[in-house]
Amino acid sequence: MNLYLIEYNNKIIGTYNNYNTAKTFILSCLQNNFIKDSALIHSFINNSCYKTKTRVITLDKNLSIKELEMPVEMPVEMPVEIISITREMKLENEIRINEIEKEKHDLIHNMNLLKVQQNKITEIKQVFEVDLKLFNQFKLAKETDDLFIIPELFVNKYKIMNNLFLKDKLDWSNYYNEIKNNKDNNIYDEHFITNSYENSFINNKKSDKTNKIEEELYLDI
């Protein structure tokens, strides 16, 4: 059993269980100028979306019925080889997109780590400047007053800075390394203590992109 759909101006305007009834409806509309020129009747197998045929219904100048059957377009199946290649290309694109996203995530992660390191160095320099001022004041005091005693909390730092001073190597980077590596130092400043997060970053091998960014950041310090 078939179902007949009437199409006019790309719109479905009626459905019928009988072909002749559908055709009669179109003819009555044409005669009364409710529709112009022609309309289509699509034949479908009932309870499915399978179309069996399409006919054009119109009237000629003598008001005679004209029916023209149109070919039903069947879906074109793609060859198996093309389907396989298409799937492979889609999979490759998905893999590449995932790789790009991972590279982007890693780059942002490393840039954030570099910012942390840059801020750390800025803090270390600031602490060094304060310690250097104290060192110079205490050094001058010792030279002018034999009874002057270095404050207990600064004794170890004073020894380290004085040793570097005598070697003409007193700068923030050498001072930081000495403070960090000195086993007898029990008064580490919190600015001079690196945590495992930073150490893992420092010890990890960085990509070329990350190294380039790091160099640019450190040039600004």
Q: pLDDT for 191-214, tens place per residue?
A: 454 444 344 444 444 444 445 444
Q: What is the mean pLDDT of residues 68-83?
A: 60
Closest CA to 65 of 7, 34, 25: 25
Whole-number percent of the chain with pLDDT over 70: 70
Torsion of CA 181, 184, 188, 193, to 10 degrees: 30
pLDDT at 166 over 90: yes
- Return mean pLDDT, the chain: 76
**C-alpha distances out from residue 146 to 76, 96, 139, 143, 149, Å:** 103, 73, 11, 7, 8
Own/partner pairs, 27-36, CB within 8 angstroms, 24+ separation: 27/57, 27/59, 27/65, 30/57, 30/58, 30/59, 31/59, 31/63, 35/8
Q: How far apart are CA 51 and CA 68, in angstroms?
A: 16
Token match 């009874």: residue?
147
Residues 85-103 pLDDT 10s: 677 788 888 888 888 888 8
Angle between helices 172-181 and 80-144 (to 10 degrees): 90
